[in-house]
Amino acid sequence: MQLDSIPWVLPGLLPGSFRGITFHVPDASSDAGRRVVEYLFPGVDAAAYDDFGRAPGVISFSGLIVGDDYRAQAVALQAAFETAGPATLIHPWLGPMTVIAEEPAQIYFSDRELRVLRFSATVKRIEGSASSILAGISGLSDSIASVSAAATALAAGVSSILSATRSKAVARSYRVLTSTAAAITAPAGSARALPRIKATIAATTPADPSALNSLVQTVASVVGEYAETPAVAPAASAAATEETSSLALMELGIGIAEQLAGAVADAPADADRALLLSSASHFLAATASQSTFADYASRQEAQTFRTRVVVAIDTLTDTLETFSGSAFDVQSATLRRAARDLQAALIADINETIGRLPAVVIFKNDRPLDAWLLAQHVFGDTPQLIEAGYREIVARNRPRHPSALPAGGVEVLR
């Protein structure tokens, strides 16, 4: 599945797909309820009702495609909606689902929007899930496993080339991995994850692609670890340790993946590029495995990370397309498809979380302001939240003094 980079040209649009045709979704809605039949009888005031089960989920959405090939995309979209039988719809919020189009879709063109195709459609879900949350987690886990397996296969493909070229590619890729770990800065809350990564890399010198792949998987597993909060508090005499944050580990993992993918442009051979992209994929998969445990503070924080991980996967898949016609064409195509599936599953997982998060609002002030007065103004209707709101305002804006918030705009978490 190919998703282009339109969200960064038109902020707020989310990617979707119907029968493999990708587009962006400004709006979507879904019907939920049960099928109830009402019976009315002469002379009887009270009506009788029969429950005929859960109503089919009707999904209505509008799509947007922008590009020089918008007319070809319109033809492909028309063929997709005219094809008989069930189809796979990747909903930007609800994830993958099997649907059937009972009504014709509408495709729009306008002389005021060149290179733009708009359409709207209404489809009906023909399969129900026992739990959308569990289905989402299962889909994300399957996508992570597919990316890891495809990355391992790409690294294994390097073993089939000449031994001298293979050995040099492994040595160069190992040096890039070492320099990347040395150059990156540990985010606050990552505990000793980065020192563990550096120690693991320094302890092993891989001799072949399989050994390098095993090393990268071991290092990436540090990013994917989930530090469970103990049910019993430690003793007072216990040494204080920094609490590990899933968000910090995700920041660390995607930072390493971005640097490894960025080093591909300077790689001297296809073997080097294959090993670097395989390593970046492992770190992206480890980062995605932390998404389920991430504790975002606000919608804006979740949206920022979603944008960053989507850009990282786009960069990975775009670079993988350069292997077309090379010795690693099959492995790179498999990894590219797996990465796109991971992107869709991760977007659906984060979007499901965003709806339950508070929003950050900007309080416009034209003069310095006391943080306590602002907290009273914002949370005055719920006095029990004033003190916590005051601490959050100070921590979020970091003023030189809490009684003098700078003019120009203050962030408040509602």
Task: Give the Cβ contact number of residue 406 at 10 Å.
Answer: 14
3-state secondary structure of 408: coil
Least confident of 2-6, 110-114, 147-151, 372-376: 2-6
For 119, the token pair is: 């359409």
Q: Work out the pLDDT band at 356, boundaries 50, 70, 90.
A: low
As a whole number of angstroms, the distance between CA 390 and CA 379 comes to 9
pLDDT digits (tens, 9 = 90+) for 129-139: 444 444 455 57
Mean pLDDT across 289-307: 81
Q: At what angle do helices 270-289 and 132-157 cross, to 10 degrees?
A: 160
Identify any residues that bridge with 143 across adjacent strands, giving them in sequence order.
none
Are 184 and 226 contacting, i.e. CB atoms less than 8 angstroms apart? no
As a whole number of angstroms, the distance between CA 22 and CA 307 comes to 17
As a whole number of angstroms, the distance between CA 61 and CA 63 comes to 7
The single-letter DSSP state of residue 359 is P
* The residue to which tokens 């790409």 are assigned: 154
Q: Determine the pLDDT at residue 7.
A: 39
- pLDDT at residue 178 is higher than 90: yes
* The residue to which tokens 């709101």 are assigned: 389
Domain 6-35+53-125 has CATH 2.40.30.200: yes
Q: At what angle do helices 299-320 and 329-354 cross, to 10 degrees?
A: 170
DSSP string across 267-323: -SSHHHHHHHHHHHHHHHHHHHHTGGG---SSHHHHHHHHHHHHHHHHHHHHHHGGG
What are φ and ψ of residue 249, in 5° steps?
A: -65, -40
Q: Determine the pLDDT at residue 134.
A: 46
The single-letter DSSP state of residue 159 is G
What are φ and ψ of residue 182, in 5° steps?
A: -75, -30
Q: Determine the pLDDT at residue 281.
A: 92
Cα separation of the two ends of the chain:
37
pTM of the model: 0.62
Q: Determine the pLDDT at residue 335.
A: 92
Is the C-alpha dihedral spanning 45, 50, 54, 57 positive or negative?
negative
Q: Work out the pLDDT band at 293, boundaries 50, 70, 90.
A: confident
> Shortest CA distance to 270 belongs to which of 149, 152, 168?
168
Mean pLDDT across 390-411: 79
3-state secondary structure of 59: strand
Looking at every residue in the chain, the average pLDDT score rounds to 81
Are 243 and 167 contacting, i.e. CB atoms less than 8 angstroms apart? no
Is 246 or 149 the better-scoring residue by pLDDT? 149
Are 186 and 252 contacting, i.e. CB atoms less than 8 angstroms apart? yes
The total number of residues shown for the chain amounts to 414
pLDDT digits (tens, 9 = 90+) for 211-220: 999 999 999 9
Q: Work out the pLDDT band at 351, boundaries 50, 70, 90.
A: confident
Sequence-distant (≥ 6) Cβ neighbours of residue 241 within 8 angstroms: 191
DSSP string across 178-235: HHHHHHSPPPTT-TTHHHHHHHHHHH----SHHHHHHHHHHHHHHHH---PPPSSPPP
Sequence-distant (≥ 6) Cβ neighbours of residue 389 within 8 angstroms: 375, 378, 379, 412, 413
Identify any residues that bridge with 34 across adjacent strands, giving them in sequence order.
54
b or e along 25-59 (b: 16 or more beta carbons within 10 Å of the residue's beta carbon)? beebeeeeeeeeeeeeeeeeeeeeeeeeeeebbbb
Q: Determine the pLDDT at residue 407.
A: 80
